[in-house]
Amino acid sequence: MRPTSSLWLAALAALGLAGCNTTSVTVRAEPSSFKVHIVCAGTNAADCPDPQGAFYCPKASAAPDLGNPQQPVPRTQIFYLAQVTAIDSNGAFYAGFDREAYVYVQFEGSVTPRRDVSKQPLAKLKLHNGAACLSLSLPAAFNQSAIWVEEPPVFGRDPENASHRIVSGSFAAGASETIYRPAPLVADVQYTTDPTTQGSALDMKHVIIDSGASGAPIVVTFVAATYFTVTDLGTPGRDHAWGSLEIYTYSRPENVRVGSVIQNLSGSVSNYLGLPELNHPMYEIAYVDKDPLIVEVPAPHRIYFKDLGGILTAMAPYKSAIVEVASRNGDSWWICPLSGKGLQSYYKYNQWIIAPPTADCTSDRESMVVMSNATIPAFDPLAFAGKKLCSLRGIMALVKPASMINLWTITPRDADDLGELVDVSVDCL
């Protein structure tokens, strides 16, 4: 239930509608807001004067460069020194504030980290006599950003009425000057440090991706009924780790084909079962004269059996990318016989399991799932159970993320992605 003021409670009580015992009483106090003024910016603390625990920031040698809409600051500029002061309801300095404030970075319509009982703020700042000097290294933040400071509310019970919840505090908040940071890249959306949920650092943010890294193309690698996948060809590394992303359109993507170049891509980041997606996207197809610009899609990244245990090092960087498993150079994959839940899953979803012949086909840690119902509907894995799979290519995804347990999937793009099937004793070419 939303917090309800005492005046509305009285009106509701008169109508006999205020029977809920989770109503709240708000107790408001000074200050009214915080002034957050950036005095220095740089790549690290060495670029700014040392506040040495002072409540007032030392004067910097020059005004900080916070960029502008045409020229954002460098990506390496992540350290900021800011003077924070409490302001009363008359707009004057309020020296009576000797409490703790929470610090976040605000961009794309919300604060980071999200306000959640399971999450800590970016920093906790102790103000003395209404002032404090904040030293802060920003996490990933993009486009128009600001340092956000607020006093968290305190929740309690009304001593005169135990059914009333009291929310007290100043509810003061304040934001710094705008910092014009670079736009995010595909890799910024895809990257994660969480081996359990594998959620994007930009989960629930609306992002605008102007182009690929260093101006390189963002190319369409696969088109499905309700989504398509892209790879940023400028992402560093031979196989563009962290450089691929699923664009979920909810219906057949318009005017998109494999090899198309996408630009001005935007949408809302959503973490679907460990797979970052860009939902409700807007994008443009690049043209040369009147013809769509078509470029070559990247070669597949090879996944080895030993990679299944490297969640953040070997597997997660290639979610939504073109990958390949192959039976050569020491690796061997076969089509698992299906029974029990595996057989039920095949009949329901037309998905089947591959694993090395010595692995446990029922273990998520030792197998992968192939989703071929839409792209190779005529293929019957039951007829080829026990056969060696010389090669399989497709788009890799993830479902069921959990601690040390992950279910990795491959979706072949077409029949050409399925290689030769041979007896286990036969060597693949």
Q: Spell out the domains of the chain, with CATH numbers in brackets.
A: 28-180 (2.60.40.10), 186-292 (2.40.50), 301-422 (2.40.50)
Per-residue pLDDT, 403: 56
Per-residue pLDDT, 402: 59
Who's near 150: CB < 8 A, 6+ residues apart? 34, 101, 102, 104, 171, 172, 173, 174
- Round the CA-based radius of gyration of the chain to a whole number and report it: 27
Per-residue pLDDT, 54: 84
Per-residue pLDDT, 12: 36
Per-residue pLDDT, 23: 61
Three-state DSSP at 60 gives: coil
- Phi first, then psi, for residue 207 (nearest 5°) are -120, 150
Per-residue pLDDT, 199: 87
Say which residue the tokens 């460098």 belong to: 74
Per-residue pLDDT, 53: 81
Per-residue pLDDT, 168: 85
How are beta strands 244-248 and 275-285 bridged, if at all? parallel
Helix (H) / strand (E) containing 99: none
- Phi first, then psi, for residue 308 (nearest 5°) are -60, -25
Per-residue pLDDT, 191: 95
User: Encoding tokens for residue 370?
Assistant: 């192939």
How are beta strands 110-112 and 100-107 bridged, if at all? antiparallel
Say which residue the tokens 């910024």 belong to: 188
Per-residue pLDDT, 27: 66
Per-residue pLDDT, 6: 39
Distance CA 125, CA 80 (A): 14
pLDDT in 10s for each residue of the chain, 429 residues: 333 333 333 433 444 444 445 566 666 788 999 999 999 999 999 999 999 888 999 999 999 999 999 999 999 999 999 999 999 999 999 999 999 999 999 998 899 998 888 889 999 999 999 999 999 999 999 999 999 999 999 888 888 888 888 888 899 999 999 999 999 999 999 999 988 888 898 999 999 999 999 999 999 999 999 999 999 999 999 999 999 999 999 999 988 999 999 999 999 999 988 899 999 999 999 999 989 999 999 999 999 999 998 999 999 999 999 999 999 999 999 999 998 888 888 888 889 999 999 999 988 889 999 999 999 999 999 999 999 999 999 999 998 765 555 689 999 999 999 999 999 999 998
pTM of the entire structure?
0.85
